[in-house]
Amino acid sequence: MILTIDPDDRTAPYEQLRQQLITAISSGELAPGTKLPTVRRLAADLGIAPNTVARTYLELDREGLIETRGRQGSFVARREQAQQPDEARRAADAYAQLIRRLNLDDTTALGLIRSALGGS
């Protein structure tokens, strides 16, 4: 997968990188166990500060999307059962924001969830 940093984009390079890695990991483009480039290597390739890449890796490690194994480097994490509640919580937050934007009430929102769960 190709990562892109656009200096003309209003989004900070850290956020651009973080979003692209999250998308790649979530979609399976970066399979579990895949070794990510080293901080220095990725920083040199993208023309950004090593601290920016290090911060991105640290955030993704905290979110459980990657694992940093010391000198061995950083790898895409294997998705354990324990991480699913975090994903569900994030999906719920995004859904709640969408409901507020559409000005729907809580009853309607919950009804939609129940019918979706009942249908699957």
Partner 1 sequence: MTRFTWTMYIVLAVGLAAGTVVTITRWFRRRILADYARRFDLEVPEELESRLRRRAGAPFTATCLGGLVGLTAGAVISALVIPPPDYSRQVPPVDPSTAVMIVTALSGGVIFQVVTAVALALHRPTGRRVARSTTPRLSDYVSGVERSAGWIVVCAAVILLVSIAVAERSGALHNPVIEEESVFGSMGAFFAYVSIGGLIVGSLLSRVVLHGPQPAGSSTELAWDDALRAQTLRGLVGLPLTWGIYSLLQSFAEIMIGSTWHPRALAYLFVVMALAACAATVGYLYSTRRSVSDRYFRRRLWSTEKLAAR
For residue 67, the cross-strand partners are 75
Choice between 1 and 110, CB closer to partner 1: 1
Helix boundaries (H) for 28-83: 39-46, 50-62
Report d(CA 61, CA 3) in Å as an integer: 18
Binds partner 1 by CB under 8 A, chosen from 14, 18, 30, 77: 30
Tokens of 1: 């997968």
Binds partner 1 by CB under 8 A, chosen from 21, 39, 65, 77: 21
Binds partner 1 by CB under 8 A, chosen from 22, 46, 54, 109: 46
Choice between 3 and 58, CB closer to partner 1: 3
Candidates 23-31, 58-66, 82-90, 108-116: pick the segment binding partner 1 (CB under 8 A).
23-31
Choice between 29 and 93, CB closer to partner 1: 29
| By the rule CB under 8 A, 105 interacts with partner 1 | no
Cβ proximity of 86 and 63 under 8 Å = yes
Q: 66 in helix, strand or coil? A: strand
Report d(CA 90, CA 96) in Å as an integer: 10
| By the rule CB under 8 A, 42 interacts with partner 1 | yes
